[in-house]
Amino acid sequence: MTRISILDKDRCQPKKCDYLCINYCPGVRMDEDTIIIDEDTKKPLISEELCEGCGICTNRCPFDAITIINLPEAVGEPIHRFGQNQFELFGLPTLEEGTVLGLLGQNGIGKSTIMNILSGNLIPNFGDFENKPENWDEVIEFYKGSSLQKYFRDLSEGNIKTILKPQMVDQLPKVVKGKVKDLLTNVNERDKLDYVTQELQLENVLERKMENLSGGELQRVAIAATVLREGDFYYFDEPTSWLDVSQRLNAVKVIRSLADEGKSVLVIEHDLATLDALSDNINILYGQPGGYGVVSGRKGVRLGINAYINGFLNEENVRIRKNPIEFTIRPPTPEDEGDVLASYSDLKKEYDGFRLSADAGEIFYDEIITAFGSNGIGKTTFAKMLAGVEEPTNGEIDEEVTIAYKPQYIVSNFEGTVSDFLYMNAPSFGSKIFDSEIMKPLTLDEMLDKPVNGLSGGELQRLAIAATLSKDAEIYLFDEPTAFLDVEQRLIAARVIRKMVESRNAASLIVDHDIVFIDYISDRAMVFNGTPGLNGHASKPTDLRNAMNEFLGNLNITFRRDKETKRPRVNKLDSYKDREQKEKGEYYYL
């Protein structure tokens, strides 16, 4: 069995612990160099040759900075290691012309490393981190006889052009200035400007400046700019954050059009329904986030996602999760079930240029209601009326409720660490409940000492969810809590929200566009229709089946359930299932 040791440099604080790990290591006590001090960083370096794997250093370290990992058999040869006691990647996916390949796995498991290698930004060292490779020769030699050999040869000779859509599109205005139309015209190398503008509904933003776009608009502009350029290999890092359901499916269409033209496409995506519709095949990444990642064999998209949901990879004989993710087909909820937390009459709100109407409804204690609808259609306005922050123009809220709110876009310009942030923004920070029910499951303890402005999208999201749940409120409103979270984190967030809502005798209203997440978390749902930015209408909260039928009926999209896992899958437009379900008026359940 091979063993690796990982040191989390952010957590390790030798000044505060006086090198407990070194002092207690049995190897060091026998005068061996099992752990030495790195002269440059003053942090410990663990020798994987000498370490016996006793685990004493792991237990002694007050900051949980060391992990000793016994690698499972059959991980194959290492492809890249960033350094001693740092992350190691095993395996690479193979790209195929004319297909979309999806990468599915937790954050921190190596997906971006793979993207960096395949796009030529990182020459892999095959685990030999002491000798930085200077060219691609060894890589080409390593992959002799496989299609990756040709790929890397062409890449190193400059015969392959790779095009990337980055994950954090909100950073784009810092590097790309000016009008959207000018940007897209400049990169219109494939003469598809009209096509992408129409499919991604960008007509209204063409004249706008990059710095004035919302996250969802930036996402669509970034996808457009990627698709417009001429290349051989296209990489999309999380193309759906901040897009609503129909925008996601439009993005699927546009990205797939590249494959239809013979290009190779690689996508990282955590929205399983989108990944399913987008990819031909997937590779699952498993291992330990921050420690090591292994690329599974290539799997057909349906069986691959099912294996991920079941938590077991047959071919590799690897369990990646203790339990399967379970989707339950709920019977319709009776109208009057539960005690009423809040009720309201028909409501109207008029702003200059925007009108919202809502049908009278009730919200029950302990329930999670999801709200679907496009961006800019009044979901936040509705919640503000419930909270009494905005007065309805017509209608009444029986009793105003207190609301804790997580906005869609999270700002990261806080000066200070995560601890400082929580201290100032999370009222129950420091309590036992916060510690066990919020901080631990959302693994915030791993980032307490990090500066907030250096957090990744997923870290920021978890921090914002935690701060919202730490408040004492009657309704917890989350606007797109899944953005930048991986599948596991989405499930954990769902469980944490459910538990806190029930223990506080509250309710939650969640706006999200990940259908698999919505299916997993909803007790009931409400639908917002209308024209974004002009007018909106909110249905009363109702059961998921009714709400989905209304919502998907308007979008002309049908979902079926996977026979094996019961997860929702989008039907191809005009396929047999699509037509059959539309005839029956069952847009969701069949």
Chain residues binding ligand SF4 by CB under 6 A are: 12-14, 17, 19-21, 25-27, 34-35, 44, 46, 51-57, 61, 63, 65-66, 68
Round to whole Å and give the CA distance between 580 and 558: 10
Nearest CB to ligand ADP, comparing residues 99 and 529: 529
- DSSP class of residue 541 equals P
The reply on whether position 370 binds ligand ADP by CB under 6 A is no
Residue 341: half-sphere exposure toward Cβ, Cα within 13 Å: 25
25 or 115, CB closer to ligand SF4? 25
**Out of 113, 226, 357, 381, the residue judged to bind ligand ADP by CB under 6 A:** 381
Distance separating alpha carbons of residues 442 and 327, to the nearest angstrom: 22
Residues in the chain: 590
512-539: buried (b, 16+ CB within 10 Å) or exposed (e) per residue? bbbbbbbbbbbbbbbbbbbebeebbbbb
525: Cβ contacts below 8 Å, ≥ 6 apart:
369, 370, 371, 372, 518, 541, 542, 543, 544, 547, 548, 551
Q: Which is nearer to ligand SF4, 81 or 545 (CB)?
A: 81
The residue range among 186-194, 202-210, 223-231, 369-377 that interacts with ligand ADP, by the rule CB under 6 A, is 369-377
Q: What's the rounded Cα separation, in Å, for the pair 43 and 443?
A: 23
Nearer to ligand SF4, 55 or 76 (CB): 55
- Nearer to ligand ADP among residue 102 and residue 376 (C-beta): 376
The count of residues interacting with ligand ADP (CB under 6 A) is 11
379 forms part of the interface with ligand ADP (CB under 6 A)? yes
Nearest position to ligand ADP, beta carbon:
380
How far apart, in whole angstroms, are the C-alpha atoms of residue 182 and residue 533? 24
CB of 380 to ligand ADP, least distance (A): 3
Residue placing its CB nearer to ligand SF4 in the complex, 45 or 555: 45
Interface residues for ligand ADP in 36-95 (CB under 6 A)? none
Nearer Cβ to ligand ADP, position 458 or 532?
532
378 binds, among ligand SF4, ligand ADP, none (CB under 5 to 8 A by kind): ligand ADP
Strands, sheet with 281-288, edge to edge from the N-terminal-most edge strand: 78-81, 88-90, 292-300, 281-288, 100-104, 264-268, 233-237, 162-165
Residue 5 interacts with ligand ADP (CB under 6 A): yes or no: no
Q: Does 378 bind ligand ADP (CB under 6 A)?
A: yes
Q: How far apart are CA 578 and CA 568, in angstroms?
A: 13
Other C-beta atoms closer than 10 Å to the C-beta of 298 total 17
- Shorter beta-carbon distance to ligand SF4: residue 20 or 325: 20
Shortest distance (Å) from residue 407 CB to ligand ADP: 9
The answer to the question of residue 376 lying near ligand ADP (CB under 6 A) is yes
Q: How far apart are CA 392 and CA 386, in angstroms?
A: 9
Distance CA 422, CA 462 (A): 12
The sign one gets for the Cα dihedral 514, 463, 431, 66 is positive
> Would you give the binding string for ligand ADP spanning residues 345-364, x where CB under 6 A is met?
------xx-x----------
For residue 375, the partner it binds in ligand ADP, ligand SF4, none, with Cβ less than 5 to 8 A by kind, is ligand ADP
Residues 6+ apart with CB under 8 A from 518: 370, 372, 510, 512, 525, 544
Please give the residues from 425 up to 444 whose contact with ligand ADP meets the rule CB under 6 A. Answer: none
As a three-state string, the secondary structure of 358-387 is: ECCEEEECCCEEEEECCCCCCHHHHHHHHH
423 binds, among ligand ADP, ligand SF4, none (CB under 5 to 8 A by kind): none
- Closer residue to ligand ADP, CB minimum distance, 91 or 376: 376
CB of 62 to ligand SF4, least distance (A): 6
Sites of contact with ligand ADP (CB under 6 A): 351-352, 354, 375-381, 533
